[in-house]
Structure 1
Amino acid sequence: MNKRVVSLILISTTLLVSACTKENLNSDSIIDVSSSQAINNNEFYLENEDTTAKDSNDSKKNSGTIKIPINIMSKYSKDITYLEVKEDSSLQEKLEIIIKTISREYFNGLPISVTVYGKNLAKIELKEPKDLSNSRVSWKVDYLNEVTKEYTINTIIKNIIQEDYKGAWIEKIQLYYENELIQLD
């Protein structure tokens, strides 16, 4: 009897994950983000007078922008997509673009907000959709349950921290769900 229950749980979990995962994601995909562009390549650099881009034509075309890597994992692969953001954007604006992309690509567009405190702290709030009756997914049920909570936290934090970024960036993150600090048990 226990083997059947475990099998049913595994099957239903697999179906749920499959239904929530965006399929056919490949390295040629482009993320459409307002006020930014996504670029797929294998470089991360700040284009200005101090650093040199690999391709001089690209550096002229994209001058004044930074490329922020976002790890997008699908069922079959792990791709890095680069969001192109204006260099003079505020840290808050850059983080909002990243959060919007993470929400759409990883979490079926569930609401996420970010607030920057000081120079190095970001508070990220995971919010349930306002109308739960029309939503197929929720943070609590689908992404903060016992099985997926650690993956959800790691996904958000790894894409926000941006360890290779050379400029001023976030060093600390507080992650909240419905005004409660999220912690691993």
Structure 2
Amino acid sequence: MNKLAVILFLVTTTLLNTACTNNDYKLSNISVIESDESLIKSENNLESNKNSQIKSGDIINLPIQISIKDLKETKYLSISDSSTLEEKINVILNAISKECFNGLPIKATVYGNDIAKLELLEIKDNDKNRYSWKDDYLNDNVKEYTINNIVKNILQEEYKGTWIKEVQLYYNEKLITLD
């Protein structure tokens, strides 16, 4: 009986190690997006960007995780360190919106240095834009992805400076939940 348990343990461990070292999860392309979003720099070498938060003078590079389908990519946003917390969050939201949500607007309001209230806004003239938060990103199939993608990028757990601790996500003035 003990031999069977050892064999099952070894097989399980081998399978887990194989799954965790899958090359699909390696980041081969890291980009830096300037805060004015007019210049995008790419780097193919992950080793040169070991720190998730890089300071260069009064510019900080904050990482955002872009997840589209099964592809994951890290991009760095160059933001002035002297910007307000709300301005930093809005730069992150604009990048996430453009990269993952077809440019649909997200408005941030920061209360103190603890809470960010994010409002997902629809574009008024829906003829120009065929995308909608409600239809495309808050339906039962992708709602969890939408919430995770926005909240995880806003929390910035690696950031050493003053940052928010809680994110509230709203659509049509109603708090979005996973129920």
> Common fold, TM-score beyond 0.5?
yes
Cross-structure match for 1:139: 133
Q: Is contact 1:38-1:82 (8 Å) kept?
A: no
Corresponding residue SS for 2:158: coil
Of 33, 39, 43, the residue aligned with 1:31 is 33
Q: Is contact 2:118-2:168 (8 Å) kept?
A: yes
Q: Does 1:72 align with 2:66?
A: yes
Of 68, 75, 99, the residue aligned with 1:105 is 99
State the distance in 1 between where 2:53 and 2:129 align. 38
Q: Does 1:45 align with 2:64?
A: no
Cross-structure match for 1:17: none
Cross-structure match for 2:77: 83
Amino acid at match of 1:94: K
Q: Which has the larger radius of gyration?
A: 2
Amino acid at match of 2:80: K
> 1:45 Cα deviation (Å)?
2.9
Corresponding residue SS for 2:148: helix
State the distance in 1 between where 2:32 and 2:163 align. 24
* CA deviation vs aligned residue, 1:130-159 (integer Å, no higher than 9, x gap): 111221110000000000001100000000
Q: Is contact 1:38-1:81 (8 Å) kept?
A: no
Considering only aligned residues, what root-mean-square deviation do their CA atoms show, in Å?
A: 2.1
Q: Does 1:154 align with 2:156?
A: no
Q: Does 1:115 align with 2:109?
A: yes
Percent of aligned pairs sharing the same letter: 48
- Provide closer, same or farther for how the CA distance between residues 164 and 145 of structure 1 changes in structure 2, counting only shifts above 3 A: same
Moved over 6 A (4+): none
Amino acid at match of 1:88: S
State the distance in 2 between where 1:67 and 1:171 align. 19
Which ranges in structure 1 are unaligned for 5 or more consecutive residues?
Answer: 1-25, 48-61
State the distance in 1 between where 2:82 and 2:109 align. 18
- Provide closer, same or farther for how the CA distance between residues 144 and 35 of structure 1 changes in structure 2, counting only shifts above 3 A: closer
Count residues in correspondence: 146
Q: Is contact 2:33-2:78 (8 Å) kept?
A: no
Could you tell me the TM-score, scaled by structure 1's length? 0.72
Q: Which moved more, 1:38-47 or 1:110-119?
A: 38-47
Corresponding residue SS for 1:85: strand
> 1:46 Cα deviation (Å)?
4.8
Q: Is contact 1:123-1:176 (8 Å) kept?
A: yes
Could you tell me the TM-score, scaled by structure 2's length? 0.74
Corresponding residue SS for 1:133: coil
State the distance in 2 between where 1:157 and 1:78 align. 16
Which ranges in structure 2 are unaligned for 5 or more consecutive residues?
Answer: 1-27, 44-48
